[in-house]
Amino acid sequence: MKLRLAASVALALGIALGGSGCAMVTYQATTEKYDASDGLSANVGPLDVRNALVVSDDGVDGNLIFTVVNTSADDAELAIQFEGDSGRTTSTLDVPGNSTVVLGGEEEPILLEGIGTIPGSLLPVYFQTGDSAGEQLTLPVLDGGLPEYSAFVP
């Protein structure tokens, strides 16, 4: 009787370890944050910039499209800066408190003139709000070849 009980316990333990053993020692990739789309993301103070990218067919002018989420109750102003053919250019975007603004969705994209960056290249763009430290993202410049971006070509 004791032998049967010991064998049953050993079998149950073997099945439990065999069925879950890999999960105990294997790296879990789902715990890593990553950008699941074509653009890049950053957290700038209370503002979360998501899926930022530039669309341009000729590399002269480009439309900046992204989503920004204001996680605070206070209104915030997002400064967007890039170095183009005519020098440093800064644009601003007002983001109401506890809201989401989608440029290229509900709002028009921001036109970046004179980017001097051909599609397939990267364009450094700096995002900053209030007194918080800003973040520079090296954004991909895409053309209108994909249907989801063709409407955003300037």
- The reported pLDDT for the residue numbered 21 is 59
114 & 76 share domain: yes
pLDDT, residue 22, reads: 63
Check residue 91 and give its pLDDT. 94
Shared domain check, 62 and 13:
no
Say if residue 86 is in the same domain as residue 114. yes
Shared domain for 92 and 121, answered yes or no, is yes
Residues 73 and 9 in one domain: no
Q: Which residues of the chain have pLDDT under 70?
A: 1, 17-25
Shared-domain flag, residues 100 and 71 = yes
pLDDT value for 131: 87
Split into its structural domains, the chain has a count of 2
Say if residue 47 is in the same domain as residue 85.
Answer: yes
pLDDT of 85 reads 87
Q: Do 45 and 88 share a domain, yes or no?
A: yes
19 and 79 belong to one structural domain: no
| Res 61: pLDDT | 95
Query: Are 111 and 92 members of one domain?
Result: yes
25 and 44 both lie in a single domain: no
pLDDT value, residue 73: 96
Q: pLDDT value at position 30?
A: 77
Question: pLDDT value at position 23?
Answer: 62
Which residue range is the domain that position 81 belongs to?
40-150
3-state SS, one letter per residue, for the chain = CHHHHHHHHHHHHHHHHHHHHHHHHCCCHHHCCCCCCCCEEEEECCEEEEEEEEECCCCCCEEEEEEEEECCCCCEEEEEEEEECCEEEEEEEEECCCEEEEECCCECCEEECCCCCCCCCEEEEEEEECCCCCEEEEEEEECCCCHHHHCCCC
**pLDDT for 107-116, tens place per residue?**
999 999 999 9
How confident is the model at residue 57, as a pLDDT? 93
Residues 14 and 58 in one domain: no
CATH code at position 74: 2.60.40.1890
Query: Considering the chain, what is the average pLDDT of its residues?
Result: 89
